[in-house]
């Protein structure tokens, strides 16, 4: 008898291993602001805070609520990376010693009211043209700065080092930093930046996805295991169509396993035939369209495959990148879209 469920097993030792690999790329005085926005990219904000507090120097979040949650258990620096927008929120920053990013002139009036009590990171727009103060506006922010302030920017093409926009952004960032009279700290790099441009690490780096093993650099491993069990096995003759739309036809007599997991669990609906799945440590692949609660995989070549066997959709042994590359998806999106109904297990907190 089985009581099947889709499961997400999060092993924080894997996350800490990834952080060690990140550290190996950095000068020893560079600090790590571990980015744990979006529920730690699906790795549970609260557990991640407990598990990673000794491994990183600070926390990068987006929402004030996330920052306050972390503050309940950690005394490390916390940065709201997209700023806050009301005096209530600024009061909360002050009461809880939370840092905030200023990225726009429109934030100046409120920020000035709190400048004696708060620590700001000034985000400068060096070419991504999303958030950030203009290079010609920077002088208006000088009154917010002291020698613990940080000048930051964000790279648009950190994952494509050959793109010329990177050099433009580095040049603009240098120009901005040289304009400022005080000797403030600097922060430029996200995960891909740490691996592609380690000489731009400066004082703080802001890795997110690399901690969770969602980018392809040597040694990093997917920290989460997304898995479920086989609940049925079909033995089909040649030329049988399979699943919704009957999109595939068996090319030979085939054994098809039906796995208790679908797009409502967080597996991508658009996964194409051939997307890898691990069954009993053997490589199998998706055959037929992914449905809400089920996927079908070809287990013809897998010995002793039976109902109740576990299938890994991604894990330290089957990188999430195999799925995202095959299906032109983002590991960020898959990790942050894991469904609530998936049963969680947390290891090595
Ligand atoms: C999300 C975010 C990061 C982390 O990016 P990764 O690609 O996950 O490393 C860093 N900096 C800022 C400003 C962000 O918003």
* Ligand 1 geometric centre to CA of 22 (Å): 14
- Chain centre distance of CA 67: 17
125 vs 283: CA distance, rounded Å: 45
The C-alpha angle 186, 70, 124, rounded to 5 degrees, equals 25
Residues 6+ apart with CB under 8 A from 136: none
69 assigned to active site: no
130 labeled part of a ligand binding site: yes
End-to-end C-alpha distance for the chain, whole angstroms? 31
Do the Cβ atoms of 35 and 11 come closer than 8 Å?
no
Residue that is written with structure tokens 């000489």 in the block = 199
Which pLDDT belongs to residue 147?
A: 85
Q: Would you state the pLDDT for residue 188?
A: 98
Closest ligand 1 atom number to CA of residue 62: 15
CATH 3.40.50.2300: does it fit domain 12-212?
no
Q: Is 103 in the pocket of ligand 1 (CB under 6 A)?
A: no
Burial (CB count within 10 angstroms: exposed 0-12, middle 13-18, buried 19+), residue 316:
middle
The reply to whether the predicted model has a pTM over 0.75 is yes
Backbone angles phi, psi at 133, to 5 degrees: -75, 140
Neighbours of 84 (CB within 10 A): 24
Report the C-alpha gap between 322 and 222 in whole angstroms: 11
- Whether 38 is in the pocket of ligand 1, judged by its Cβ within 6 Å, is no
Give the C-alpha separation, 195 to 212, whole Å.
15
The residues with which 133 forms a beta bridge, in sequence order, are: 124
The per-residue pLDDT for 234 is 97
Q: Supply the residue whose CA is at minimum distance from atom 6 of ligand 1.
A: 208
Write down the mean pLDDT value for the chain: 97
In the chain, which ranges are continuous DSSP H helix? Answer: 12-24, 37-42, 45-52, 64-71, 87-96, 108-113, 164-179, 191-196, 320-327, 331-336
Q: How far apart are CA 349 and CA 337, in angstroms?
A: 22
Where are the domains positioned within the chain? 12-212, 224-347
Tens digits of pLDDT across the chain (349 residues):
779 999 999 999 999 999 999 999 999 999 999 999 999 999 999 999 999 999 999 999 999 999 999 999 999 999 999 999 999 999 999 999 999 999 999 999 999 999 999 999 999 999 999 999 999 999 999 999 998 999 999 999 999 999 999 999 999 999 999 999 999 999 999 999 999 999 999 999 999 999 999 999 989 999 999 999 999 999 999 999 999 999 999 999 999 999 999 999 999 999 999 999 999 999 999 999 999 999 999 999 999 999 999 999 999 999 999 999 999 999 999 999 999 999 999 999 9
Q: Of how many residues is the chain composed?
A: 349
In this structure, CATH architecture of domain 224-347? Beta Barrel (2.40)
Residues 6+ apart with CB under 8 A from 323: 268, 271, 275, 276, 313, 314, 329, 334
The pLDDT value recorded for residue 1 is 74
In 3D, which of 22, 60, 58, 25 has the Cα closest to residue 40? 60
Question: Which single residue is written with the structure tokens 């609660």?
Answer: 293
What residues have CB less than 8 Å from 198, skipping those under 6 apart?
A: 25, 26
Is 12 among the catalytic positions? Answer: no
- pLDDT score of 232: 97
pLDDT per position as a tens digit, 172-231: 999 999 999 999 999 999 999 999 999 999 999 999 999 999 999 989 999 999 999 999
By most ligand atoms within 8 Å of CB, the mutation choice from 62, 155, 190 for ligand 1 is: 190
Largest CA distance in the chain: 76
Per cent of the chain over pLDDT 90 is 98
């Amino acid at each position: 008898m089985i009581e099947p469920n889709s499961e997400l097993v999060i092993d924080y030792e894997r996350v800490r291993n990834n952080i060690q690999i990140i550290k190996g790329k950095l000068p020893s005085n560079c600090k790590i602001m571990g980015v744990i926005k979006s529920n730690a990219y699906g790795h549970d904000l609260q557990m991640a805070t407990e598990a990673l507090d000794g491994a990183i120097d600070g926390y990068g979040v987006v929402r004030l609520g996330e920052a306050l949650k972390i503050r309940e258990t950690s005394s490390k620096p916390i940065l709201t990376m997209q700023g806050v927008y009301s005096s209530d929120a600024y009061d909360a920053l002050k009461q809880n010693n939370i840092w905030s990013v200023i990225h726009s002139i429109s934030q100046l009036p409120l920020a000035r009211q709190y400048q004696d009590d708060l620590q700001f990171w000034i985000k400068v727009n060096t070419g991504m043209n999303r958030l950030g103060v203009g290079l010609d506006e920077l002088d208006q922010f000088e009154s917010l700065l002291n020698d613990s302030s940080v000048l930051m920017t964000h790279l648009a093409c950190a994952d494509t080092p050959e793109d010329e926009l990177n050099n433009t952004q580095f040049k603009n960032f240098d120009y901005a930093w040289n304009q400022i009279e005080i000797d403030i700290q600097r922060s430029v790099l996200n995960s891909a930046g740490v691996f592609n441009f380690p000489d731009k690490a400066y004082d703080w780096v802001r890795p997110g996805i690399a901690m969770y093993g969602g980018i392809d650099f040597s040694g990093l491993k997917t920290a989460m295991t997304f898995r479920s069990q086989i609940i049925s096995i079909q033995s089909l003759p040649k030329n049988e169509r399979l699943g919704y739309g009957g999109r595939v036809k068996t090319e030979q007599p085939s054994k098809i396993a039906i796995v208790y997991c679908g797009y409502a669990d967080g597996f991508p609906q658009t996964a194409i035939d051939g997307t890898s799945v691990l069954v009993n440590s053997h490589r199998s692949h998706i055959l037929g369209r992914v449905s809400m609660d089920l996927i079908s995989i070809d287990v013809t070549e897998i010995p002793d495959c039976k109902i109740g066997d576990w299938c890994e959709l991604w894990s330290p042994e089957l990188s999430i990148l195999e799925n995202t590359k095959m299906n032109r998806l983002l590991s960020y999106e898959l990790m942050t879209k894991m469904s609530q109904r998936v049963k969680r297990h947390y290891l090595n907190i």
